[in-house]
């Protein structure tokens, strides 16, 4: 994924959605189930990125504790950014 802020409409994110659901973002259209699947995918991408990153650092340098910024003050003023509460459901050993 390209960025931990805003939505990721990269070819990589599109391919992940296609692998999981059998269609890409441009094929979502107005179908309610597809819109819900896309929304769920977009709502979890920061959490999934953090998990992927923490696991990769565990492989690269197991002794390094990793951190992740959530845009600090910017996050507090933007209501469009995804929340970080899903992290409590998916703790990672390298994230303090």
Distance from the Cα of residue 79 to its chain's centroid: 17
pLDDT exceeds cutoff 80 at 66: no
pTM metric for this prediction: 0.58
Q: Which two tokens stand for residue 28?
A: 């979502």
Neighbouring C-beta atoms of residue 26, cutoff 10 Å? 8
For residue 80, is pLDDT > 90?
no
State residue 64's pLDDT score.
Answer: 81
Percentage, residues of the chain above pLDDT 70? 61
pLDDT band of 81, cuts 50, 70, 90: low
Q: Are 5 and 81 in contact (CB under 8 A)?
A: yes
Length of the chain in terms of residues written: 96
Separation in Å, CA 76 to CA 57, 61, 68, 70, 71: 28, 32, 16, 9, 8
């Amino acid at each position: 994924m390209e960025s931990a802020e805003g939505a990721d409409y990269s070819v990589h994110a599109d391919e992940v959605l296609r692998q999981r659901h059998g269609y890409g973002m441009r094929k979502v259209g107005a179908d309610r189930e597809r819109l819900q699947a896309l929304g769920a995918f977009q709502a979890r991408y920061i959490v999934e990125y953090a998990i992927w990153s923490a696991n990769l650092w565990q492989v690269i340098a197991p002794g390094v504790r990793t951190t992740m910024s959530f845009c600090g003050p910017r996050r507090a003023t933007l209501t469009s950014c995804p929340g970080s509460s899903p992290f409590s459901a998916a703790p990672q050993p390298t994230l303090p």
